[in-house]
Structure 1
Amino acid sequence: MAGSFWELAAGLFFFGVAANLTNISVNTQGVGVERLYQCSIMARFHGLWSLAGFFGALLGAAMVDWHISAETHFIAIFLICMIILAVFSPSLLPRDARRSSSQGGGMFRSMDAYVLLIGLIAFGSMVSEGTMFDWSGVYFESVVNPGPGLVQIGYVAFMSTMALGRFTADRLVMRFGPVRVLRASGILISSGLLVSVLFPMLWSATLGFLLVGFGTSSIVPLCYSMAGKSRKMIPSMALASVSTIGFLGFLLGPPVIGHIAHASSLRWSFSLIALVGLGTAFIAPYLKKYR
């Protein structure tokens, strides 16, 4: 309904603010539910988020095919969301974990090394995710060159294993522990990107993107879950801190890739992101020290 560029920009700005507030609130609820069940279930929540994105894309394509206007589409989604909130709000946990005397202060003033390290791990993962979201199609088109109709196969491969990985990650966490899963995830991200860089053919690049999807699938859910268990910050503040650091990677990663690709090549850009992803494997063991 925006009548000008500035109206659209303002609407998207407040949409982004509200979306991240919702993200933090929902994940805080997830931390509370995990505490009630006393087992790892956060990754499955994020798996449902991935499925929602998949079905949302299908629904959007169907709306276009059925010649339904964007205005009608958005109003329908708005009404569905309001109904979901009205029905399920009474079942939500009423408050965050109780604030102890050691959990006061502002978000960054009370941040400890444990939450900061988790934020850096989330940063590396979101840089990798942003790379896949914004540059996977470009990489396939300009480097792999698979032919018409196959340009998006890398992105589809990444999203499929990302969703699948989130439905299996909780079992891996309960069996091997979060630190080992984080280390393996970082290795998978780095390996997948390097495979696609070193062997830029259709089958090998697709395999590489499948590995990146598995690698990124469990990191952000694990980061949110572990941040919610901070001994110094209440869950909502810890999640807000990790989310802020992590989303900087989502914001800064894609344009940095573009600048490097312009100066050299897209393969060099992906090689750099492979190193960033590998950073997760090196940072994760230090979480034990500060836990």
Structure 2
Amino acid sequence: MTSTLSADLRSARLATRLQFLAFGFITGSWGAHVPSAKAHYGLSEAQLSVALLAAALGAVACLLKAGAIVQWLGPRRVVQLAGTTACGVLASVLLPSSGQGAPLAMLPLLLLLGVFGAATALFDVAINAEGSLLETRGGLKVMSGFHGMWSLGAMGGAGVGGLLLKAQVPPLWQLAGACAVAWGVILAAAPRMLAEHPPAEHGEGGPRRWTALLVLLGLLAAAGLVAEGAIYDWSVLWITQDLQQTQSVGAAGYAAFAGAMALARFGGDWLRTHISAPRLLAGSGLLAAAAMSLALLSHSAWVAVPALAVVGAGLANVVPILFMAASRAPGVAPAAGIAAVSSLGYLGFVAGPPLIGGVAHASSLTGGMAVLVVASLVLAWGARRLPR
């Protein structure tokens, strides 16, 4: 019985690593093509921020019930449904459309990104619920490593996108191919995930009340996602526009951030074992703030690209720390705790894109990216209130 359970856990861990990898690959592919969508639809920076806001709103709306959905269907079924939806929608974002630049031209993009945000948020909760249960059952810290696979996938998606852009492969073909690969991995890995999860402690799959711990974790997650979102949504455009580099160089900066984050997350389980969560979170925030400040003040791509890698290392373990704490919140099922904290955390994505776009419209995108520095300092300040 024990050997069978161990074999099942090992198989589920591999399947979950692949799910995180596929999810990261989708995210990285989209991040590399935010400028492609901007050009395809003829959007200004303000309009692009609205489009990115639609994805965040779709995510937040879905997160209100994500815990209950994951608890009802189980992570295995959810990743199949949500993964299929996310891949299908993203592959359609750059399909030919008429009236680029006209007010109504944004409507298809807004709808697509809204559904994309909802599907990816549901997928995110499902794989994190799976990861938290695997860490609890196996007695081995694995969550940071799972998130490392996500970052590795994001680096791969952005890196491949940059190479294909340099080779002048049409962006539509790139996104379609990336989504086909990710979808195949998702469907192949899903049957090896855990068959059952513990039942929800509450009938609705969520907490009866918001505790101070969930609110704290959610607000810190919001700060962390503002910082990450600034890189994923704006870094390529910042490098190409304000630093006057090619889109392939912008994708390289994005890939450097994601690659360093992946490496730091693969060592994150060791760090979480030997360093208390408050100290690790505080150090992470300070490192990210210092590196991004250097990148913004240098006005040089030679400094910005490696600095983004340091930012990635700094932010690497923020989400694993907060999500594991959420999965162990008293009186809440793991999926519900993660969904609750994610719902507040995704407010960072809701507030981040229009805030950065507004600052960029008023001054420059370099000024808008300074929001990342502020968010990282908030993480460092709030870390001392995190339970050990």
TM-score (ref. length: structure 2): 0.63
Is 1:81 matched with 2:186? yes
Q: Please name the residue that 1:272 is paired with.
A: 371
Task: State the 1:168 CA deviation.
Answer: 1.1
Contact 1:196/1:205 (<8 A) preserved: yes
Contact 1:190/1:278 (<8 A) preserved: yes
Contact 2:207/2:331 (<8 A) preserved: no
Contact 1:104/1:233 (<8 A) preserved: no
Contact 1:119/1:245 (<8 A) preserved: yes
Residues matched between the structures, number? 283
Contact 2:287/2:310 (<8 A) preserved: yes
Cα distance in 1 for residues equivalent to 2:286 and 2:269:
18
Structural mapping, 1:84-123, within 5 Å: 84-85=189-190, 87-89=191-193, 92=194, 94-96=196-198, 99=201, 107=206, 109-123=208-222
Structural mapping, 1:1-291, within 5 Å: 13-57=114-158, 61=164, 74=179, 77-85=182-190, 87-89=191-193, 92=194, 94-96=196-198, 99=201, 107=206, 109-145=208-244, 150-288=249-387
Cα distance in 2 for residues equivalent to 1:17 and 1:287:
29
Q: Which range moved further: 61-70 or 40-49?
A: 61-70
Task: State the 1:7 CA deviation.
Answer: 7.4
Cα distance in 2 for residues equivalent to 1:203 and 1:215:
19
Task: State the 1:49 CA deviation.
Answer: 1.6
Contact 1:110/1:232 (<8 A) preserved: no
Q: Taking every aligned residue pair, what percent have the same amino acid on both sides?
A: 30
Residue deviations 1:37-68, cap 9 Å, x none? 32321010011122223334566649995996
Cα distance in 1 for residues equivalent to 2:160 and 2:311:
26
Task: State the 1:232 CA deviation.
Answer: 3.1
SS of structure 2 residue aligned to 1:54: helix
Cα distance in 2 for residues equivalent to 1:189 and 1:69:
31
Contact 2:223/2:379 (<8 A) preserved: yes
Task: State the 1:3 CA deviation.
Answer: 9.9
SS of structure 2 residue aligned to 1:144: coil
Contact 2:225/2:348 (<8 A) preserved: yes
SS of structure 2 residue aligned to 1:131: helix
Q: Which range moved further: 137-146 or 2-11?
A: 2-11
Residue deviations 1:189-240, cap 9 Å, x none? 2111211122222333233212211122111121111111111322111100
Aligned Cα root-mean-square deviation (Å)? 3.3
Cα distance in 2 for residues equivalent to 1:34 and 1:209:
30
Task: State the 1:148 CA deviation.
Answer: 8.0
Task: State the 1:123 CA deviation.
Answer: 0.8
Change (3 A) 1:159 1:72: closer
Cα distance in 2 for residues equivalent to 1:9 and 1:157:
29
Task: State the 1:94 CA deviation.
Answer: 0.9
Q: Which range moved further: 3-12 or 248-257?
A: 3-12
Cα distance in 2 for residues equivalent to 1:28 and 1:105:
16
Cα distance in 2 for residues equivalent to 1:95 and 1:202:
47
Contact 2:356/2:369 (<8 A) preserved: yes
Change (3 A) 1:27 1:64: farther
Residue deviations 1:101-120, cap 9 Å, x none? xx677746522111111111
Which amino acid in 1 is paired with 2:198?
D
Which amino acid in 1 is paired with 2:368?
S
Which amino acid in 1 is paired with 2:282?
R
Unmatched tracts of structure 1, length 5 or more:
none
